[in-house]
Amino acid sequence: MLFHKLYSSTLGIGFIKGGGTIAAAVCGICWYLAWSGGYPPLWPSVIITIAITLAGVWSSSVVEAIWGKDPSKVVIDEVAGMAIGLLFLPVNVKYLLCAFILFRFFDIVKPFYIRKMEDLPSGWGIMADDVLAGVYTNIILQAVVWWNLF
């Protein structure tokens, strides 16, 4: 159980006020430190993101039984969503900041069926809304890169 509490709260970040925002920021910083100055390597970044997401579904399902439905302590969903938002993008400060702002916007406002994802059962519902927020973030930033908007 300790593993699931630590993992789903991203090593305790979920216990801090504003934990979701902090977890997304920590993900962005780690992404930058790992792969700054170009594009992240394709397979490692995809495999790590999928692993974070699937383990997040598992762990959030386990802790939901003790912490209740979609507990605010679970912030691994923000980490997964932010990582999805950053996939296949150049790793530099401007894209990281844009991804962070867009991801948090989509995660908080929950437009375009994002809120509907919360209706999925257990850990899937906890994770899926942030996954979709990350997908929307990535689509917008891919367009920005494609059209060289900045």
- What confidence tier does 5 reach under pLDDT thresholds 50, 70, 90? very high
Predicted pLDDT at 37: 85
Alpha-carbon gap, residue 45 to 34, rounded angstroms: 10
Closest alpha carbon to 26 in 44, 52, 2: 52
Residue 9 CB: number of other CB atoms within 10 A? 24
Torsion angle of C-alpha atoms 31, 93, 22, 81, degrees rounded to 10:
-60
Predicted pLDDT at 132: 98
First-to-final CA distance of the chain: 45
In tens, the pLDDT along 46-93 reads 999 999 999 999 999 999 999 999 999 999 999 999 999 999 999 999
Cβ distance 111 to 117 under 8 Å? no
Closest alpha carbon to 99 in 109, 117, 84: 84
In tens, the pLDDT along 117-138 reads 999 999 999 999 999 999 999 9
Mean pLDDT within 24-41: 95
Global pTM reads 0.96
